[in-house]
């Protein structure tokens, strides 16, 4: 039989064990923390902030890339511009080192020189000095060289009978041109140049795009009014009053025995005084043709040397994707230094 004290000890031990079991993890379920509404709003704010930062980083990256492209484009445009200027300078060299003959013609290095002017590599690009000019068969062609401005008709000095014979010209537009010229005539003889630039032809009544395009290759504002017999094209020679037969003989003389322009046997008229005799010795002239040529010489419509030239230079960069053009009108002196002065300049 157990004693009362022993029973009481067993009772307290059992009670203590029961409490311990109830308070242990195995004896009760773990209480989960509650998610408050404020915690959810903070999470949403964090997500929006991250989204905004991502968008800002994307926008910054796009803007940076765009800026880099713009900088690269401007750099390439500047490179192309200086390449075009390099072509202009090369043309000046050819004009300045040209010997001082009594005449100028397409036999000289500035006139047609693909080696010096056709896609000449320089640095990361190239330059080309050229102008469009029809071939002998009338097809589209390109001449790599400098334009002789004095192979053209000067619209500041040409009389009506010459103007109306120009391609595209009508009698009405010729009259309007002469009227405009009279209104803008300078009182100073040295500055008597009513048309300062060719684009002023658009101010003449009746001028159209078609007429301007037809006239542009054959007219100028930069000569003394005389036309270089060695470089004038067929259209200009006919506008001066030459017959088709005489024009054909002049061109045949200039192209030499092979009849091809730009070859070694090309010829030029050394002096105006001997032009008729030289032409007649190469291909006989009829009395009428001889008279036509003599009259033009007597009327001071012709010459054999030039002073004004047009340089059209194209610079290309980034494998030809970026290009710039410079165009200068220069006047070459007749002195021993053979200096060349800039008269007009345009960049595009």
Least confident of 62-76, 188-202, 292-306: 188-202
Cα distances (angstroms) measured from residue 315 to each of 20, 33, 104, 125, 321: 96, 75, 27, 7, 11
Q: Is-contact 77 112, C-beta < 8 A?
A: no
The residue that leads in pLDDT, 289 or 24, is 289
pLDDT, residue 22, reads 46
Q: Is-contact 136 260, C-beta < 8 A?
A: yes
pLDDT tops 70 at residue 206: yes
Q: Is 117 helix (H, G, I), strand (E, B) or coil?
A: helix
d(CA 230, CA 223): 15
Q: Is-contact 79 53, C-beta < 8 A?
A: no
Within 8 A by CB and 6+ apart from 128, the residues are 87, 117, 118, 119, 120, 144, 313, 314, 316
pLDDT tops 80 at residue 28: no
Of how many residues is the chain composed? Answer: 348
pLDDT, residue 19, reads 53
Q: Is 242 helix (H, G, I), strand (E, B) or coil?
A: coil
- Residue 11 pLDDT grade (very low, low, confident, very high; cuts 50, 70, 90): very low
Q: Is-contact 332 307, C-beta < 8 A?
A: yes
Residue 36 exposed, middle or buried by CB count within 10 Å (0-12, 13-18, 19+): exposed
The residue that leads in pLDDT, 337 or 93, is 93
Q: Is-contact 95 309, C-beta < 8 A?
A: yes
Residue 254 exposed, middle or buried by CB count within 10 Å (0-12, 13-18, 19+): buried
Domains and CATH numbers, the chain: 83-150+306-348 (3.30.1300.30), 153-222 (1.10.150.320), 224-233+240-305 (no CATH)
Residues 105-161 pLDDT 10s: 888 899 989 999 999 999 889 999 999 888 766 677 899 999 999 999 999 999 999
For the chain, the average pLDDT equals: 85
Least confident of 5-19, 117-131, 174-188: 5-19
From the list 218, 228, 231, 233, the residue with the least C-alpha distance to 155 is 218
Phi/psi at 324 (5° precision): -135, 155
pLDDT tops 80 at residue 312: yes
- Residue 102 pLDDT grade (very low, low, confident, very high; cuts 50, 70, 90): confident
Give the other-Cβ count within 10 Å of 237's Cβ: 22
Pairing of strands 227-228, 302-303: parallel
pLDDT tops 80 at residue 336: no
Give the other-Cβ count within 10 Å of 306's Cβ: 21
User: 125-160 in b/e burial notation, b at 16+ Cβ within 10 A?
Assistant: bbbbbbbeeeeeeeeeeebbbbbbbbbbbbbbbbee
Q: Is 341 helix (H, G, I), strand (E, B) or coil?
A: strand
Distance, CA of 157 to chain centre:
30
Residue 222 exposed, middle or buried by CB count within 10 Å (0-12, 13-18, 19+): buried
């Amino acid at each position: 039989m157990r004693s009362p004290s022993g029973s009481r000890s067993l009772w307290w031990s059992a009670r203590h064990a029961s409490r311990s079991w109830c308070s242990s993890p195995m004896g009760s379920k773990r209480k989960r923390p509650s998610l408050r509404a404020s915690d959810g709003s903070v999470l949403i704010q964090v997500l929006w902030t991250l989204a905004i930062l991502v968008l800002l980083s994307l926008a910054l990256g796009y803007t940076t890339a765009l800026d880099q492209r713009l900088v690269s484009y401007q750099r390439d445009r500047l490179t192309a511009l200086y390449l075009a200027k390099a072509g202009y300078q090369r043309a000046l060299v050819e004009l300045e080192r040209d010997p001082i003959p009594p005449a100028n013609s397409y036999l000289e290095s500035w006139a047609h020189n693909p080696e010096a002017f056709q896609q000449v590599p320089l640095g990361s690009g190239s330059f080309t000095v050229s102008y469009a000019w029809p071939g002998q068969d009338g097809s589209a062609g390109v001449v790599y060289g400098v334009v002789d401005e004095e192979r053209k008709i000067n619209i500041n000095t040409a009389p009506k009978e010459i103007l109306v014979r120009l391609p595209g010209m009508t009698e009405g537009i010729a009259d309007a041109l002469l009227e405009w010229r009279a209104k803008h005539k300078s009182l100073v003889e040295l500055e008597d140049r009513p048309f300062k630039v060719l684009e002023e032809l658009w101010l003449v009544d009746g001028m159209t795009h078609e007429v301007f395009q037809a006239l542009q290759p054959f007219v100028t504002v930069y000569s003394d009014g005389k036309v270089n017999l060695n470089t004038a094209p067929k259209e200009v020679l006919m506008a001066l009053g030459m017959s088709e037969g005489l024009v054909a003989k002049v061109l045949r003389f200039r192209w030499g025995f092979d009849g091809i322009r730009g070859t070694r046997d090309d010829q030029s008229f050394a002096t105006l005084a001997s032009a008729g005799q030289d032409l007649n010795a190469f291909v006989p002239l009829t009395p009428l043709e001889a008279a036509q040529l003599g009259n033009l010489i007597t009327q001071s419509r012709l010459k054999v040397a030039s002073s004004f030239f047009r340089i059209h230079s194209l610079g290309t960069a980034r494998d030809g994707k970026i290009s710039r053009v410079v165009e200068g009108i220069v006047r070459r002196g007749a002195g021993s230094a053979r200096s060349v002065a800039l008269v007009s300049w345009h960049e595009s």
